Amino acid sequence: MRLQVRKENLVKLASPEQLERYRNKLQAARRQDKPCITICGGTGCRAGRGLDVARVFRDILKKKQFDRRVDIQITGCHGFCERGPLVVIQPKGILYVSVTPDDVQEIVAASIEHDEVVERLTYKDPGTKRRIFHEMEIPFYANQQRIVLANNGKLDPANIDDYIAVGGYASLAKVLTRMQSDEIVELVGKSGLRGRGGGGFPTGHKWRACREAAGYPKYVLCNGDEGDPGAFMDRSIMEGNPHSVLEGMAIGAYAIGSDRGYIYVRHEYPLAVENLVIAIRQAEEYGLLGNNILGTDFSFKVRISRGAGAFVCGESTALMASIEGFSGEPRAKHIHTSEKGVFGQPTTLNNVETWANVPLIIDKGWEWFANMGTKTSTGTKVFSLVGKVKNTGLVEVPMGITLRHIIFDIGGGVAANRSFKAVQTGGPSGGCLPEDQLDLPVDFDRLTEAGSMMGSGGMIVMDDRTCMVEVARYFTHFLSKESCGKCTACREGLLRMYELLDGITSGRGTIEQIELLEEVGLYVRDNSLCGLGKTAANPTLSTLKYFRDEYRAHVVDKKCPAGVCKELTTFDIDVKMCTGCGKCVKSCPVEAITGKKKAPHSISQDKCIKCGMCRETCPFNAVITL
């Protein structure tokens, strides 16, 4: 991966006034009307050849000698991942979706040389069939409230000048010159900010406890170990706006009396690590991190600590053990880590998104933040909306918004217009909620009451072709592999739960085993040592609560209603619906389907491997499951 690092003239900002002068200089130099082609450089769009698109833009602009008239900016994740690679022509805000390198020529000709729009590359609303040109008018974006992600499409994460130009580090300067440390703690407390990593612990409380704890040095840590399958909120923030996290941590350090910290990033996020390393280096060069920040007495140094592939290291005490060089193994938390955390010192550990909110709260005030969301869950939350939904991607919404609003108004509803079955929130620690829970407001407390949890923001939409028992089996398998293995409850309990679920989905289950499964699940929930174990039974217990009939079907009728569990499913063709188009024949990997053209086809059960491709392919819903 080649880095785009611009050569800056080495700037050392030795005072808050110098920072402001530099910022004004940057803003003046960036003419507001100068066109800028912003290309999403998040991991998702990169996988879709977004960097090739950027390269072709660069080449064509150079060839046409437009490179002085037009800026190119590779930014962090925009969020509309379903439609990447994304290109936005600023300042007009024209959004092009699913852009390929071959489209670039046309875009330059239309949007740059003339004042036109390449319609075929714009977003087409699936309901109204109308084309929408402007990014922020698209329902996906229009229904969001983006404050943490606001700048993700507007800055190059590898260029600190971009961050400064949009107001970056002004909050840190404000804190260092005009606020006392206890004032900051109180302000964060009044804002109602709660931990965005899933725990929802009031951030003000946490900071206060650490501030009052005795000991030097104190540490601020950032939990960037985002391990929930399907979650990429923190990844996009670390990749796309790393300085927001650094600034938040510096403010937190000042508030609690710390001068050092670590960002623990999971090993599987190389781009996040890269962009954080660049950001730290640039901030240090500018005097915004390191010794005597902005010429004050305050020093703060940050290092990156990389994970090594263990989900359990997202647990606070396991994370700290890992930073210390030990295996990621949690310990009982009767003595809080704000008193004795990493290296036995007072520690404040917060999630990436929590840190990113801090500069905003300092800048705009606690009331501004507290006025968003609900009374007990203030502010916004970033969700990764994935699964069987039309608009997958990253969405940021005020707390208290309903699940229905997120999935249908922003997400566009269930993919392929199939029927909604469940939404899984909170990753492996969360649970599945059915349709009649869709009007629940999303916040820290309501979802937990219903048997799930908001968690860190993962939201997986499931349709009628999802088997809820298989979902429980999948998550339990994941957790049994990720358990650290220290305590009997989690280690042995999850193993046995997995065995039972595996048996049920393979057709070997009994009613007694469902009861045993529930018994072990409750045991794991109530007896585990750490958060991983305590929440590990949620996928199983929540699906048993809302979808028990499906479990019964597996063991009593020996059928999988969703048509997923292979031993319990038979695929067949409904001769009344089949038009004999032959599409299924082509899709079958084992040539199990035969039939004459325009006549009903049939499936040979001997050959069928139950992959379900025929059902996916059939345009007439003629493939049924028995």
Partner 1 sequence: MIKTIIDGKEIEVERDRWALDVAREMGISIPTFCHHPALQPYGACRLCVVEVSKGKWRWLTTSCDLPIREGLSIRTNTPEVIKSRKMALELLWARAPQAECIQSLAKKLGVERPRFAVRDDLGKCILCGLCVRICDQLIGVSALSFSRRGVERRVETPFGKASDSCIGCNACVEVCPTGHIVSADRDSVRYIETWNTKLDMLLCDVCGKAYMPVKEFEYIKNKLGKEISLEQVCPVCRRKQTIVRLERATATKENNVNLVSSHLTYEIDSSV
Q: Which spans of this chain sit near partner 1 (rule: CB under 8 A)?
A: 310, 312, 327, 329, 331-332, 334-335, 480-489, 491-496, 499, 516, 519-520, 523, 526-527, 529
For tokens 């069939």, the residue is 129
Closest separation between CB of residue 550 and partner 1, Å?
A: 23
Give the span between the Cα atoms of 235 and 174, in whole angstroms. Answer: 28
User: 109 vs 495, which CB is nearer to partner 1?
Assistant: 495
Least spacing, CB of residue 226 vs partner 1, in Å: 19
Q: Which is nearer to partner 1, 447 or 532 (CB)?
A: 532
Alpha carbons 407 and 210: distance in angstroms, whole number? 38
Question: Whole-number minimum distance, CB 453 to partner 1, in Å?
Answer: 17
Nearest residue (CB) to partner 1, 217 versus 344: 344
Residues with Cβ within 8 Å of 412's Cβ and at least 6 positions away in sequence, in order, are 126, 139, 140, 389, 390, 391
CA angle 199, 541, 410 (to 5 degrees): 60
Amino acid at position 163, single letter: Y
Min CB(268)–partner 1 separation in Å:
16
Instruction: Name the residue nearer to partner 1 (CB basis): 22 or 523.
Output: 523
- Closest CB to partner 1 among 519 and 567? 519
Report the half-sphere exposure of 227 (CA within 13 A, side-chain side): 24
- The CB-of-537 to partner 1 minimum distance in angstroms stands at 13
Alpha carbons 272 and 263: distance in angstroms, whole number: 11
Nearer to partner 1, 256 or 489 (CB): 489
Q: What does the block give as tokens for 208?
A: 């206060």
**At its nearest, how many Å lie between partner 1 and the CB of residue 520?**
7
Note whether 156 and 40 are within 8 A (CB): no
Q: How far is the CB of 499 from partner 1 (least distance, A)?
A: 7
Q: Closest Cα to residue 547, out of 388, 421, 454, 399?
A: 421
Q: Which residues contact 392 (CB under 8 A, 6 or more apart)?
A: 81, 82, 385, 386, 411
Comparison of 76 and 330: residue with beta carbon closer to partner 1? 330
Q: How far is the CB of 533 from partner 1 (least distance, A)?
A: 10
CA distance 206 to 347: 9
The pairing of beta strand 393-398 with beta strand 380-387: antiparallel
Minimum CB distance to partner 1 smaller for 326 or for 620? 326
| Measured distance CA(456)–CA(227) in Å, rounded | 10
